[in-house]
């Protein structure tokens, strides 16, 4: 035989032996069950063991047909007996049967390797009296016939006489309802049917949003019960408690939700336990200067409702010549043990444009008292604002009355005062002369400056003013208050040589003044998103048109000075 023939023969023999011995080398995987039979709603532990590394990771998905896999873990151990080493690999699963009967534990694939088949007998859970149960749930409601959107207090109590771990509890479920958890859980001891239990209590607030028959679904608790008589595998610090998972359910609760009663009328529907309506003003005297703001804060606090159900508080009927600028309402919900507490707060700034009295109508909140089953009214009486003249209404120059006694004093009077207190009179005399001269110089300066003002207007200043007006228009039409402020400041520096919105407003008519002050309020309160600039631009155009027309007819700027 040639060498190539012998090499081919060896290859064929090796492949044949490999195919024959491959099944003999496959890992043997066994399955064991810790309890058989078991009751429904009780967990069982499945252990898959192998002495050799299997071909691949296991696929436990076939178990999901009849079992719910609660937990899964893997562990390895090695033992040496008579110098012989044995390796054990285990996959431990805790499962919950989905139905009663004889259930098949299918063969689990580990790649090309496979486990054994097995069966598990599941019995229906026996019906036992409550005093024989060591773990059960109890639920209740404060009313089974609530009105629509009325608060229903749902109380859950977990009774247990055993130690549990890794507990999982489902939440209450009800279609077309708002459900809120109330406060923190409370733990205490209680007697029930002659037995002592540790009780964990939890409360919910449920607000059904439609009338009719409704069912609160049962709650389910899945927990591991610590086995008191279980023997640990090893002694020492690393002992692990053995548990058996158990599942218990509560009863379902039927609700018969009533429709809104006829006594509620056309008013917004608000069922509650208690309602409190209050107001607060930035000025308790309810007095404000024309063009300046005064702020009103209205607060509605309701026990037994959510903030989404609270109505609008501010009145839309505002007197003429009184502008209102409301902020976005503030809402808040607080979950207490006794139920929900809702809060709604509204802030409105009022700016009068004329002197006078402004009467704001009363504010009323109609609500349904769930305790007395009657309609109630929370009310704030009408309020009257007094608008007085502001500082910017003073147009006459101040009178220089302090210099008159010195100028008109007779020589005899001067001589007598000079004898008694000559230094003091000399000081007042020279001060009076100084202020009188300063007043005359200031008057002449402003008159000549006003007369020469048209000559000082250059093409550059006109161009800057036009650019500011264009920016103001764009900012107003796009509702951007910060850009509008910058444009007004630029325009004010060119027109009045001032760089403050309040000072600019004093140079304008009442309409534009109110709009500038309203813009200032929006910027101060940081509510930029609610500002609308259309009214400011309209007021600005009107003011500009009125103040630019007379300038065209002026022929001689020095004419008024000659008349004086």
**What is the average per-residue pLDDT within 288-295?**
91
pLDDT of residue 270: 95
**What is the average per-residue pLDDT within 429-442?**
71
**5-9, 238-242, 273-277: range with highest mean pLDDT:** 273-277
pLDDT of residue 384: 94
pLDDT of residue 347: 93
pLDDT of residue 548: 62
Q: How far, CA to CA in Å, does 500 sit from each of 292, 350, 440, 461? A: 15, 21, 29, 19
Arithmetic mean of pLDDT over the chain: 79
pLDDT of residue 165: 84
pLDDT per residue as tens digits for the range 528-541: 456 788 888 888 88
pLDDT per residue as tens digits for the range 303-317: 999 999 999 998 778
CA 496 distance to own-chain centroid: 45
CA distance 200 to 351: 56
Q: Is the pLDDT of residue 275 over 60?
A: yes
**What is the average per-residue pLDDT within 484-496?**
88
Q: How far, CA to CA in Å, does 148 sit from each of 153, 194, 276? A: 14, 39, 21
Between vectors from CA 526 to CA 521 and to CA 530, what angle results, nearest 5°? Answer: 80
The CATH architecture one would assign to domain 25-123 is Sandwich (2.60)
Per DSSP, the three-state class of 339 is strand
130-231+239-257 against 268-391: fold identical: yes
In 152-178, which positions are buried (b, 16+ CB within 10 angstroms) versus exposed (e)? bbbebbbbbeeebeeeebeebebeebb
Q: How far, CA to CA in Å, does 2 sit from each of 8, 11, 12, 418, 481? A: 10, 15, 16, 153, 100
Quick one: pLDDT band at residue 228, thresholds 50, 70, 90?
Answer: low
Tell me the DSSP string of 114-156: EB--EEEEEEPPPP--GGG-SEEEEEEES-SSPBTT--EEEEE
**Topology at the third CATH level for domain 130-231+239-257:** Immunoglobulin-like (2.60.40)
Contacts for 36 with CB less than 8 Å, ≥ 6 apart: 44, 120, 121
pLDDT per residue as tens digits for the range 43-83: 788 999 988 888 889 999 999 999 988 888 998 887 776 66
Cβ proximity of 380 and 315 under 8 Å: no
| Residue 341: Cβ within 10 Å count | 19
**What is the average per-residue pLDDT within 327-332?**
92
Quick one: pLDDT band at residue 280, thresholds 50, 70, 90?
Answer: very high
pLDDT of residue 418: 36
**What is the average per-residue pLDDT within 13-35?**
62
pLDDT of residue 300: 95
CA distance 259 to 239: 59
Q: Is the pLDDT of residue 564 over 50?
A: no
* pTM value surpassing 0.85: no
Strand order of the sheet with strand 220-226?
Answer: 164-169, 220-226, 243-249
Q: Is the pLDDT of residue 402 over 60?
A: no
CA distance 370 to 13: 92
Q: Is the pLDDT of residue 138 over 60?
A: yes
Quick one: pLDDT band at residue 517, thresholds 50, 70, 90?
Answer: confident
Q: Is the pLDDT of residue 557 over 70?
A: no
pLDDT of residue 429: 66
CA distance 60 to 114: 11
Percentage of the residues of the chain whose pLDDT score is greater than 90: 35
pLDDT of residue 5: 53
Among 225, 219, 214, residue whose Cα is nearest residue 170 = 219
Domain ranges of the chain: 25-123, 130-231+239-257, 268-391, 401-456, 459-563
**Topology at the third CATH level for domain 268-391:** Immunoglobulin-like (2.60.40)
pLDDT of residue 416: 38
Cβ proximity of 477 and 534 under 8 Å: yes
pLDDT of residue 499: 78
Quick one: pLDDT band at residue 447, thresholds 50, 70, 90?
Answer: low
CA distance 32 to 28: 13
pLDDT of residue 387: 93
Q: How far, CA to CA in Å, does 473 sit from each of 433, 460, 476, 487, 564? A: 50, 20, 5, 9, 41
Among 223, 225, 159, 156, residue whose Cα is nearest residue 189 = 159
pLDDT of residue 434: 73
Residue with tokens 């008349």: 563
pLDDT per residue as tens digits for the range 152-198: 999 999 999 888 888 889 999 999 999 999 988 988 888 888 888 88
Whether the ω angle into residue 142 lies within 30 degrees of 0, i.e. cis, is no
Q: Is the pLDDT of residue 343 over 90?
A: yes
Contacts for 379 with CB less than 8 Å, ≥ 6 apart: 277, 362, 363, 364, 365
- Evaluated on CA atoms 183, 189, 191, 194, the torsion sign reads positive
* Pairing label, strands 38-39, 118-123: parallel
Q: Is the pLDDT of residue 562 over 70?
A: no
Quick one: pLDDT band at residue 394, thresholds 50, 70, 90?
Answer: very low
Among 197, 96, 203, 225, residue whose Cα is nearest residue 142 = 203
**What is the average per-residue pLDDT within 436-442?**
73
What's the length of the chain?
A: 564
């Amino acid at each position: 035989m040639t060498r190539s023939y012998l090499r081919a023969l060896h290859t064929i023999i090796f492949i044949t032996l490999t195919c024959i011995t491959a099944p003999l080398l496959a890992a043997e995987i066994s399955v064991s069950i810790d309890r058989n039979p078991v009751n429904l709603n009780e967990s069982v532990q499945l252990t898959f063991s192998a002495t050799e590394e299997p071909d691949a990771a296991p696929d436990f998905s076939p178990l999901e047909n009849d079992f719910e896999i609660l937990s899964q873990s893997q562990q390895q151990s090695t033992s040496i007996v008579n110098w012989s080493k044995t390796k054990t690999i285990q996959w431990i699963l805790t499962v919950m049967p989905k139905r009663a009967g004889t259930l098949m534990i299918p063969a689990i694939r580990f790649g090309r390797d496979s486990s054994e088949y097995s069966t598990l007998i599941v019995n229906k859970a026996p019906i036992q009296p409550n005093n024989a149960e060591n773990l059960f749930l109890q639920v209740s409601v404060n009313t089974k016939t609530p009105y629509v959107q009325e608060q229903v207090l749902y109380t859950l109590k977990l009774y247990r006489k055993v130690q549990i771990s890794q507990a999982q509890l489902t939440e209450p479920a009800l279609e077309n309802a708002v459900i809120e958890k109330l406060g923190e859980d409370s733990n205490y001891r209680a007697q029930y049917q002659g037995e002592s239990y540790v009780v964990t209590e939890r409360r919910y607030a449920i607000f059904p949003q439609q009338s009719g028959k409704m069912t609160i679904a049962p709650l389910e608790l899945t927990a591991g019960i610590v086995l008191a008589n279980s023997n640990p595998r090893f002694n020492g610090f690393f002992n692990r408690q053995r548990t058996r998972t158990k599942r218990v359910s509560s009863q379902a609760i039927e609700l018969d939700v009533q429709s809104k009663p006829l006594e509620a009328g056309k008013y917004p529907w608000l069922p509650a336990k208690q309602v409190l309506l209050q107001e607060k003003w930035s000025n308790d005297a309810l007095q404000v200067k024309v063009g300046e703001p005064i702020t009103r804060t209205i607060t509605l606090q309701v026990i037994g409702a959510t903030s989404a159900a609270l109505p609008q508080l501010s009145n839309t009927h505002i007197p003429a010549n009184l502008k209102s600028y409301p902020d976005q309402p503030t809402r808040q919900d607080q979950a207490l043990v006794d139920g929900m507490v809702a809060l709604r707060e509204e802030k409105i700034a009022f700016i009068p444009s004329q002197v006078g009295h402004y009467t704001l109508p009363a504010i009323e909140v109609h609500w349904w008292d769930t305790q007395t089953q009657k309609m109630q009214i929370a009310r704030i009486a009408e309020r009257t604002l007094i608008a007085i003249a502001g500082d910017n209404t003073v147009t006459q120059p101040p009178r220089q009355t302090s210099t008159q006694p010195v100028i008109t004093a007779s020589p005899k009077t001067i001589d007598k005062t000079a004898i008694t207190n000559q230094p003091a009179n000399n000081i007042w005399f020279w001060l009076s002369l100084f202020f009188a001269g300063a007043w005359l110089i200031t008057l002449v300066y402003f008159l000549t400056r006003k007369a020469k003002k048209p000559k000082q207007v250059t093409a550059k200043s006109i161009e800057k003013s036009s650019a500011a007006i264009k920016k103001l228009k764009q900012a107003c039409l796009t509702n951007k208050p910060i850009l509008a402020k910058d444009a007004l400041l630029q325009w004010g520096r060119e027109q009045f040589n001032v760089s403050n919105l309040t000072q600019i407003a004093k140079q304008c008519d009442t309409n534009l003044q109110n709009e500038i002050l309203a813009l200032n309020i929006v910027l101060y309160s940081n509510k930029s998103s609610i500002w609308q600039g259309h009214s400011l631009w309209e007021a600005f155009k009107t003011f500009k048109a009125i103040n630019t027309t007379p300038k065209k007819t002026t022929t001689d700027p020095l004419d008024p000075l000659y008349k004086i």
